[in-house]
Amino acid sequence: MRKRVVVVGNAGLDLRLAVPRLPLAGETLVGSAGRRAPGGKGLNRAVVAARCGAQVRFCAPLGNDEAEAREVERHLSSEGFAELLLPRLPHPTDFSLLMVLPGGENSIVSTSACSLALTKAQAEPALRDMGEGDVVLLQGNLSLDTTGYILDAARRRKATTIFTPAPFWPGAEKLVGHCSLVIANRIEAEALGASIDDADAAIVTLGADGCALIEHGRRRSFPAEAVMAVDTTGCGDTFCGVMAAALAQGLAIKVAIGAAQRAAALTATRPGAFEALPSSDELRIFLADALSTTQENQP
């Protein structure tokens, strides 16, 4: 029986601007190539996992601003989710400002009042009939209290738990012990400190330098795919979404990393975040290649 991926996180809108550099204090810069699209780490990762062919249940709060909430809901309805849980809360729908530099690196400022307001009771339906082998994927957009509740509940039901502490909130390091896998970039890994070893396994993403897998006290490096980066905004979301889908399909972490890195590299060659996410056809090729490699290496 194919296991499901449960993503509980944020969903909102992104405003993307290309900038020559980040503005100085008190300075006004003129950006270009302005685009508006659905976004949020939770939304992007859930979309990627669904495009991989996983059975995805996505839970994210939307706000009381009807036009913005309906815009997000319309995009999600076309993504082939197994189930959408989108409670409406008395806050504006979250949004992010993405500033992209000429070399492809980005800086992001997000609102999170809506996602932070999601309560345990509102998240509980996402955990319905969860069992062994299911994969639960969380980011740092929810309150630490709600995040800890979900991780603990999923762990008790023998689900695989993946947590990315982004954005990082002090106290997130206390949640790592509930995680099957932590995925963090350099900054987040530094903030977690020694607690990162409390997870069953951890992946530290290193941009163009690839990533490192820390498992059972051992560290193994995985080089990145060499590409000409245009915009790195959605790369982490693609990586995490593929990892969740691959683990739900029973792939080993080391094999899943290869597929996730290929997908993230492809994302970096395209502008935007949501618009840059790989298609279903592209993602399923990466996973099929990873699966065939695993089968070829079996005795």
pLDDT given at position 291: 79
pLDDT given at position 179: 96
pLDDT given at position 95: 92
Sheet holding 12-18, edge to edge: 32-39, 12-18, 95-100, 106-110
Closest CA to 38 of 85, 77, 4, 82: 77
Q: Name residue, tokens 């409406």.
A: 88
Q: Is the pTM of this model over 0.85?
A: yes
Cα 10 to Cα 88, 102, 191, 237, distances in angstroms: 12, 28, 22, 12
CA gap 283, 243 in Å, rounded: 11
Domains of the chain: 4-19+33-297 (3.40.1190.20)
Give the model confidence (pLDDT) of 13-37 as tens digits. Answer: 999 899 999 999 999 999 988 889 9
pLDDT given at position 103: 81
The tokens describing 209, both together, are 């330098």
Say if CB 260 and CB 290 are below 8 A apart. Answer: no
CB atoms within 10 A of CB 185: 19
Per-10-residue mean pLDDT of the chain, 299 residues long, equals 88 93 92 90 97 97 96 95 97 93 86 96 96 95 97 96 94 94 95 93 93 92 89 93 96 95 95 93 93 63
CA gap 153, 65 in Å, rounded: 31
DSSP states of 183-233: EEEHHHHHHHGGGGGGSSEEEEE-GGG-EEEEETTEEEEEPPP----S--T
pLDDT given at position 295: 58
**Bridge partners (DSSP) listed for residue 108:** 98
CA gap 241, 49 in Å, rounded: 5
